[in-house]
Amino acid sequence: MDPQIPVYRPQPQAHHQPWLSRQRRATGAPIAVLVVLGIGAAILAVLIGVSDPTGLLVAAPCSALAMAVVLACYLWLDRWEPEPNRLLLLAFLWGAVVAVVVSLVLELATNEVLGNGAVRVLAAPIIEEAAKGAFLLVMLTGSRRREFDGVIDGLVYAGITAAGFAFIEDIGYIAQSFGQGTDTGVATIVMRLVLAPFAHPLFTSMTGIGVGLYVSRPQDPRRWMYPIAGYIGAVALHALWNGSLTFGFAGYVVVYVVVMIPAFIAAVLVARHHRQRERDIVNRQLPAMVYYRWITPMEAGWLGSIAARRAWQRSVAQRSGKTSVQALKAFQTAATELAFLRDKVERGSAPPNAYALHAELLESLGYNRALAQAPFSQNPPSVPPVAPARPDLLRSGPAAR
């Protein structure tokens, strides 16, 4: 028997992620309610907001295609610790239904008082960014808090929520513009879906960064300021963007070049920095995980990069099939979650139930290793193994086991 592989012989029936099972129960009911609301909102939009069915037929697939590109970018960003699909769906539906309905009602109410121009430039950014950003506060409650680790998660949930909002809003604007002529409709498509498909996700990402910093810096006494600063940044960008057309197409171009493109580049650089930080946390924890014999040196080598993980999945798929790949993905997710949890323990910011989470993740590693059917050590040695190393600083709690 290989002395590096812990002895664990469960019955291989399904990949094991106990915390995810609880989370599914916690989010299933809200998703069902939102789907029903979404259908009702869509019917209402068709009956009231769109006078030209042709515009709707053009707007829906065009908006869907543009938002598919946006979603693909955020999912690519979320590769080290992929968020559960059900929570991502909940985020999209929140943006497409809850945020849209709340914004529509409040903007119609304020329009009677402030007028259309003031609502577009001032009230709409405040209302819409609050409605979208509220989902990030929902993520900090209940079992969902378990899945919110830092800035990357804030960016992903904020971006996907905003993509849902933009999906519905773009359909409405484009469909209405076709009622003013085909040229106007095409111009609206270019301005909203070609030049600025990331506009709403960029705005709300400011809030996402703020909430992510709040979560990742529990020892900072000023951390409450980060979500507020992020929300103010989101509102400011949104207001500047909405107000740009007040000065005609030239104003739009100036704001696009001078503000939006630099802001987008800055957001990409922030995302890149924190994504590399996630990679560094995992790689810093792998030697200790090998030391405690939770994973083997070769397994640690295959966990050290996204490219190696995907090559590992392809190798297992060719050898053992789809079921084993699912188990391997669950193994990789559990290893990443364990690395993040141990990092929190070492920094003194572990959740109150760290012991239970730690035990579940170790159980998941052993369970899913068995479900992969063939030993992971049979993979081609294209990556170097990771040598075990005892942690320099041991904290009390699960990290010391």
- Give the pLDDT confidence of 214-262 residue by residue, as tens digits: 988 877 889 899 999 999 999 999 999 998 878 778 888 899 999 999 9
Q: What is the DSSP string of 355-391?
A: HHHHHHHHHHHHHHHHHT-S-GGGS---SPPPPP---
What phi and psi values does residue 373 have, to the nearest 5 degrees?
A: 75, -50
Q: How many other C-beta atoms lie within 10 A of the C-beta of residue 1?
A: 5
pLDDT tens figures, 18-30: 444 444 444 445 5
Q: What is the pLDDT of residues 65-102, one digit of tens each?
A: 999 999 999 999 888 888 888 889 889 989 988 899 89
User: What's the pTM?
Assistant: 0.81
CA 347 remoteness from chain centre? 24
Residue 143: which pLDDT band, with cuts at 50, 70 and 90? Answer: low
Per-residue DSSP letter, 397: S
Determine contact, residues 208/157, Cβ cutoff 8 Å: yes
Residue 8 has pLDDT above 70, yes or no: no
* Cβ atoms of 28 and 319 closer than 8 Å: no
Question: Which is it for the CA torsion 344, 360, 209, 140, positive or negative?
Answer: negative
Q: Is the pLDDT of residue 10 over 60?
A: no
Backbone angles phi, psi at 6, to 5 degrees: -60, 145
